[in-house]
Structure 1
Amino acid sequence: MALSSPRAFQSTFKVTLPDRQVQTPYHARRAHKKSRNGCLVCKGRRVKCDERKPTCLRCENYGAACVYASSQATSSSSSSSPSSSRSSSILRSATASTSKSTPPNNTLTSLSISDMVNRVRDTLGNDLALAPRTIGNRDEALDLAVDSFRFFLTCSVNSISTPQIYQVMKREVVHVAFDNPYLMYTLLGCGVLHMNRVSPGNESRELGEAYFWQRAVQLYSAALQHPINQQNISGLISASILIGVTSLAPLKFEMQDSWVFTGRGSDLNWLAIQGGLACILKHAGQYVPGSIWGVPFSQSHEIESQLFRYEITKGREGLRPDLADLCGITDETDEQTSLYWAPIKLLSPFMELEVNAQIASQCTTWMGRLEPSFVNLCRERDPRALVIFAYWMGLMCSMSQESWRSSYTAILGVSGGCGGLYLDLLMINVDTGFNKI
């Protein structure tokens, strides 16, 4: 059989070979404004920046830290090569991997899921891999941590009614958490606690809540063993504010579990825990102005100075008369001569004001201002201390019935033990001063 000609295996392709250059049609560019003062991140990504400050829209959607060059660097960058080199250095730093923590000045609510996974994994490292297998395998534990972190950013933070505290929690605290595992575990604990109270019954989540809080307290206790300084004050204050949440909203609480029925002083530990922040501020107050809490604490102090009238250091002025009579307070009484004077002084203004969300925010701080000596009186069921405590509980219970209560979650946690306290007080026989009240 004869072989076919080589040409039998060839294919013919039709190719157009133009004899002149093909010109593309002209399209006029749309009128636009150049972005000359955009952020460094957008310049590095070669996208147009809307120049919004402190965070441009593209960085907010992208989940990046928006960084602007200083005006001096911007004006000189076009005329000198050293400035250009410096801008390039800033740009490289701003667009670095998101695994590194960024300056505490931007919100992270727009982080993608992959970014959140990287952030949580980089912060907790292998520690999260040691989570009990009852929660799930390593990947499942990481998924729960990411879900808890995202829930904290998108839901839990939004329940804060004080504007100054809200802004710090929304923008700065999460950045500090990337460098402090104890604070990251605290945020995870708050997020999963919130999820479990809104949607109870998930056993894996409940175990995760217990583990996150366990690690948060363990690592926080270890951090407190080191001297407090300017570098760690922001994280310690943030954790102290949030750790008390778990004691106010226990997973399972029945009225008969209240300390007023059990008779165990240890069941009042939830009140003692609230004084942790005051203790830190007392020993390291000089570092607060330079922390992320410097501005909100300063603004809050101005309000409190008018509300609590700090200039009054003794006597009955500004005190609720019936409580002052009950506790034997005279014009010469001060906090050194009576354990009841300071709690009554801090509580009395709230009894004269109209209840609203802002007042509720201040009223809740009362429990964090109590001295350990007064808490011990409550543990010992001192009648007068319990009456003062009951007045505060009554205010919290009334606030929990207001229309804005859903935006203030701490009230719901405290009001759970209110009824039991009143029942206990009804069984106390004190002098006629108590009966008059």
Structure 2
Amino acid sequence: MMRRSHKKSRNGCLECKKRHIKCDETRPQCINCTTVQRECRYSTPWAGAERSPSHRSASPQVSPPGHDLTPTALPAAFPGLHPLATGEEPHSSVDMVHMELLHHYLTDPVLHIAPSSSLREVMMANGLREPYVMHSLLALSAHHLSVIRPGQEVFYRTLATQLQTRALSLFNSIDVSLLGDSAEKRVPVFVFSSVLGFHALCDSLTYRDPDFDSAFARFMGYLRIHRGLHSVMHGYWDELRKTELKHIFNEIVPRWYHFDNVEGRECDEIRERIRSLGLDAEEAEATQKAIDLIQSVFDAKPRPEDRAYVLCTWAAMLQRPFVRMLEAARPEALAVLAYFFLAMHHCRSAWMIGGAGQHLLTLLANHFRGGEWYAWVETPYRVLQDLLIQLAPAPSPPAIDESCTVPMARDFVITRPHEADAPRIAEIHLAAMDSNPLLHAQFPTPESLESLQQFLRAYTAEQLQNAASGVFVARDPDTGLIAGFMKWDSPSHPEDVKLESGDLRYLEGCRREFLDGYAALATEAKSRCFGDEPCYRLNFVCTDPGYQGEGAGSLLTRKVLEMAAADGLPVYLESTEVAVQLYTKLGFQVLDGFEMSIPRAGSAELSEVYRELCMVWRPPSK
């Protein structure tokens, strides 16, 4: 039987071409392939220049973990993220993982970068029309899940990278000439650029670089990505005000920014310093505009919960002369950035920010420390330190005797322990830490806590085999019973491996993500505070609850302070908030801090913020 002839088309799917049958060219799957349940594939993302970009397949492309994406250079704000090579085909079908991401995006109000339901509807409508927008929204959803589900962080971060990679590939394949002079056709491009910039910010704030140069390079990579929408939208801003985006231009932006009626005083000092420089008119105006935008974050009109939205639009609102000053890393521009980082710290409750503002401002202050420009950032850095101290609540009972510098101490005998003391030290360790919520996040079951105690016995016994180990105990002079212990290290007594980074991570029942997360934050904080400067470090100061308030911990700490003073070295520690005032009375000062989200006891939700402050004691100058 002869096959009926048909008009040939270059735009049909590959399966119909192979079978020499007419293809109706429906995408993502033609009717022929849908009917016989074949995989439908096309040789191009969409057919021909005469078709609109909206004809492209909306099927998300997710490569399996470990898939080697063809590399193309991108700014450092997206480490490991590269667009796919031109010409790769979006063959992959939608699966239940994508459905989970879409459901999460639609139902979790914390995730949205659009502060109103009408804007979220606009974003979703454009996502359904344009696959590059949908991929970007799903990538953002995956990134959020990587934050709130630390046990699956690697899976969702990889997924977010792959989805954003695919979004960039699809976006880069657009024939811009098809947009013509239509502002309406640029709406999805605007939405995509906004989501891409927001995702770039989230990604850059995930990292904790050890020095300011690295952190600044990463931040500038984000800023260039976020400002990419200016090149796409150049000449069309006024027309966009008449599109479905009119709500954001005509209502939300005026609501957030009140440049003619600045109320807050947080940025007054930097304004005056900038005026004193005598910048040319263009740079002076652009810099003052950047400061106004930062003040808008502090003011957070009309609602404090809008603060994070205002912060996340800062990069896009900057004027070009100030951006050039940042790109040249001019110190006056970096000083303005210090106030932006302080404003970021005010937004720390937002899921994508956390402790990033504190980290970046501390790095910047250390970058300027000792130079003439340090005075420019000293005020925001001092405000940050004051905020950290204010966040520390008063210690819980038993109360400290205010009539003396530290709690009244019994005549405890401070000695080095014997190997046979290891079980008692392990017992005190768990008893003293029982009120610490992080311990129960790391070891959530009675079985895991029992495993921890057995581990601590063996671990401490191995430590005590070394006569020079950094362990002291306070013994009750009447009974000989150990009332408390302290573990420390120093340049002459280095700790081989931090406890949370060692074999403890492999105990059955432990939540390794909270051990790893804490160890990483603590290491980063110490690096920020000291760099390579030698110091003593207090790792644990634990007292049996039965001896609490009798001065055992203070005597143990004083012992190390005496040794550090003899060596002329500072002493560093990370303190829970309840112990800050006690260490302050011993002469310690707050330098920095860090926080992490953990679950409450009996819950899987990351609903509690655990915080520690970094403190230093320095020997008196001779």
| TM-score higher than 0.5 | yes
| Alpha-carbon contact 2:204-2:218 (below 8 Å) kept | no
**Which residue of the partner structure matches residue 296 of structure 1?**
248
1:272 equivalent in alignment to 2:204: no
Tell me the secondary structure at the aligned position of residue 209 of structure 2.
Answer: helix
Matched, 1:286 2:238: yes
Q: 1:409 aligns with which of 351, 361, 384?
A: 351
Contact 2:205 2:353 in 1 (8 A): no
> Which residue of 2 is the match for residue 199 of structure 1?
149
Q: Report the alpha carbon displacement of residue 213 of structure 1 after superposing the two structures with TM.
A: 0.5
Cα–Cα, structure 1 residues 247 and 414, in superposed 2: closer, same or farther, change >3 Å?
A: farther
State how 1:244-259 maps to structure 2 within 5 Å. 244-250=197-203, 253-256=206-209
> In the alignment, what sits opposite 2:339?
391
Aligned mate of 1:232, from 177, 185, 191: 185
Q: Which amino acid aligns with 1:198?
A: I
Cα distance in 1 between the residues matched to 2:218 and 2:308: 27
Give the distance between the partners of 2:119 and 2:355, measured in 1 at CA: 23
CA deviation map 1:358-407 (0-9, x unaligned): 3443244223212344234334332211111111110110231xxxx3xx
Change (3 A) 1:141 1:176: closer
Q: Equivalent residue for 1:60? A: none
Structure 1 residues 160, 151: closer, same or farther in 2, change over 3 A? Answer: closer
User: Which structure dedicates a bigger proportion of its chain to helix?
Assistant: 1
Equivalences for 1:113-192 in 2 at 5 Å?
A: 125=57, 128=60, 131-132=63-64, 142-155=95-108, 157-160=109-112, 163-164=115-116, 166-169=117-120, 171-192=121-142
Normalising by structure 2, we get a TM-score of 0.41
C-alpha distance 142-427 of structure 1, shift in aligned 2 (>3 A): farther
SS at match of 1:223: coil
Match of 1:328 among 239, 264, 275: 275
Aligned AA for 1:327?
I
- C-alpha contact (below 8 Å) 1:148/1:188 kept by paired residues: yes
Deviation at 1:436, TM superposition (A): 7.6
After TM superposition, list the pairs within 5 Å mapping 1:4-153 onto structure 2.
125=57, 128=60, 131-132=63-64, 142-153=95-106
Q: Paired residue for 2:167, among 192, 216, 232?
A: 216
CA distance in 1, matches of 2:58, 2:374: 61
Question: How far apart are 1:217 and its partner, in Å?
Answer: 1.7
Alpha carbon RMSD of aligned pairs, Å? 4.2
Deviation at 1:180, TM superposition (A): 0.5
CA contact (8 A) 2:326 2:333 kept: yes
For residues 191 and 417 of structure 1, the distance between their equivalents in structure 2, rounded to whole angstroms, comes to 25
The reply on whether 1:380 has 2:331 as its aligned counterpart is no
Equivalent pairs counted in the alignment come to 302
Overall identity of the aligned pairs, in %:
14
Aligned match of 1:50: none
- 148 and 351 in structure 1: CA distance in 2 versus 1, 3 angstrom threshold: closer
TM-score by length of 1: 0.57
Structure 1: where are the runs of 5+ without partners?
Answer: 1-98, 101-121, 313-317
Q: How many angstroms apart in 2 are the aligned matches of 1:341 and 1:126?
A: 43
2:37 matched to which residue of 1? Answer: none
| 1:270 CA drift (Å) | 1.0
1:249 counterpart SS class:
helix
- Closer, same or farther in 2 for the Cα pair 1:160/1:253, shift >3 Å? closer
Counterpart in 2 of 1:424? 367
Picking from 314, 318, 321, the partner of 1:370 is 318
In the superposition, relative to structure 1, how do residues 229 and 134 fare at CA in structure 2: closer, same or farther (>3 Å)?
A: same
* Residues 11-64 of structure 1: per-residue CA shift (max 9 Å, x gap): xxxxxxxxxxxxxxxxxxxxxxxxxxxxxxxxxxxxxxxxxxxxxxxxxxxxxx
> Contact conserved, 2:223 with 2:315, CA < 8 A, in 1?
yes
Q: Indicate the residue corresponding to 1:357 in structure 2.
A: 305
Deviations 1:340-363 (A, max 9, x none): 232123334555678821344324
Q: Quick one: which amino acid aligns to residue 288 of structure 1?
A: L
Q: What are the superposed Cα offsets for residues 231-272 of structure 1, whole Å, 9 maximum, x if unpaired? A: 4222112111111233222289442356x1427746521122
Query: Kindly tell me: are residues 123 and 343 of structure 1, through their superposed partners in 2, closer, same or farther at Cα, counting changes over 3 Å?
Result: same
On the 8 A contact 1:335/1:342 being kept in 2, the answer is no
Aligned-residue offset at 1:326:
1.6
Q: Secondary structure at the match of 1:242?
A: helix
Residues 167-221 of structure 1 show CA distances to partners (whole Å, capped at 9, x for unaligned) of: 321x232122122110011111011111112113544443322210101122223
1:368–1:173 distance in 2 versus 1, CA, 3 Å: same
Q: Trace 1:338-353 onto structure 2 (pairs within 5 A).
A: 339-351=286-298
Paired residue type of 1:168: L
Shifted more, 216-225 versus 426-435: the winner is 426-435
Name the CA distance, whole Å, in 2 between partners of 1:367 and 1:348: 14
Structure ranking higher in strand proportion: 2
Which structure would you say has the larger RCO, counting Cα contacts within 8 Å and 6 or more residues apart? 1
Q: Distance in 1 between matches of 2:123 and 2:222?
A: 24
